[in-house]
Amino acid sequence: MVNMLLAERNESVTLFNGDEADVRQLLRDPTSTRLKSLIGDGKIVVVDEAQRIENIGLTIKLFTDQIKEVQVIATGSSALELAANINEPLTGRKYEYTLLPLSFGEMVDYHGLLKEKRLLEHRMLYGCYPEIVTSPGEERTLLSLLADSYLYKDLLTLGQLNKPHFLEKIVRALALQIGSEVSYHEIAKLVGADNQTVERYIDLLEKSYVVFRLPALSRNVRNEIKKGRKIYFYDNGIRNAVIGNFTPMDGRTDKGALWENFLISERYKKRLYEGTYAKHFFWRTTQQQEIDYLEEEDGKLHAFEFKWSPKKLASLPKTFAANYPNSDFTVINSENYEHFLLS
């Protein structure tokens, strides 16, 4: 992607690769004078795999403060490590761009709405990681490799896990609970860990862009769930690889949960790329009244219920309607979902 962007710019470029030992040594603790000599006439500096360079945040800070005519692009395949190395030194000096798996909107732009709709069930099973999309017929093998290495690579490399054997159990437990409220206490009992370990590992999985949390909406309405959360995977394919289930949709007992994960993760991508800062929730009462997904924007609540089959109906719970009158309600199914993910 960076190469494509640079091809459109008529400016000299200096490229550093953090995988190379001599580059790591050169950029570890340089002075501004040393940096100027390293880049020469370069107006754009690209540091790839920047997280591998010690003190890279301070080095980039030198560029932004002392060599203002130079623009720096720092990329890294380890989001957790890159963020840890640059966030504090570069506060107020950087723009961050997050690249999630390919989105429904991007795929529609690429080959049209009709084809992407025909591939819906395929996306539900195998997800949208670039290598999966571009390697038809190899989805299961590639996803198994991704699930075995990618999920835990950042955390294991950084030494963030005191008990790594718990991680796989926690990820599998989360994969089996998508669409349901997640209890740290119940997962802790299931995997033989304590609550604090489970919460910490889930927090690290979220920072590594494996999963994300959806909190419960609570505005002091009687019987509302106050501190609940659901946890979703950024990619359906990774979720299915974790549990080893690629059964076609017609034969699945979890199609509702898969549909919910697909829609919420795709909506998340859409909102992120648009720069829309709506707040996201689900809603449930102790009497099991619930709404799958809510967005709050400019003081208004938009409620959504997800049904795979267009024949299944849903209505707004009376308790919610009475307590949140300034809201609208939409049912999203396999026939009208493109409006939810595109408009």
Confidence (pLDDT) at 157: 63
Q: What is the pLDDT of residue 183?
A: 94
Average pLDDT of the residues of the chain: 90
Q: Quote the CA–CA distance of 58 and 30 in Å, as a whole number.
A: 9
d(CA 188, CA 168): 13
- The confidence score (pLDDT) of residue 284 equals 93
The token duo for 15 is 């490229």
| CB-based contacts of 132-135 (< 8 A; 24+ apart in sequence) | 132/237, 133/102, 133/107
What does the alpha-carbon distance between residue 63 and residue 72 come to, in Å, rounded to a whole number? 7
3-state secondary structure 121-184: HHHHHHCCCHHHHCCCCCHHHHHHHHHHHHHHHHHHHCCCCCCCHHHHHHHHHHHCCCCCECCH
Confidence (pLDDT) at 156: 66
Q: How far apart are CA 63 and CA 69, in angstroms?
A: 9
Q: How high is the pLDDT of residue 343?
A: 78
For residue 323, give the 3-state DSSP assignment: helix
- Beta bridge partners, 99, equal none
Q: Which domains does the chain have, with CATH numbers?
A: 2-86 (3.40.50.300), 104-342 (no CATH)
Tell me the three-class secondary structure of 62-103, residue by residue: HHHHHCCCCEEEECCCCHHHHHHHHCCCCCCCCCCCCCCCCC
Contacts of 44 (CB under 8 A, 6+ apart): 6, 9, 11, 12, 13, 14, 70, 71, 72, 73
| pLDDT number for residue 196 | 92
Phi, psi of 203 (to 5 degrees): -60, -40
Query: Which amino acid appears at position 218 of this protein?
Result: S
Which residues, given as ranges, of the chain have pLDDT below 50?
A: none
**189 vs 185, 193, 194, 232, CA distance in Å?**
6, 6, 8, 21
Assess contact for 240 and 125: CB atoms under 8 A. Answer: yes
Report pLDDT for 159.
55
pLDDT of amino acid 222? 75
**Which pLDDT value is given to residue 160?**
62
pLDDT at 276: 86
Output the pTM of the full model.
0.90
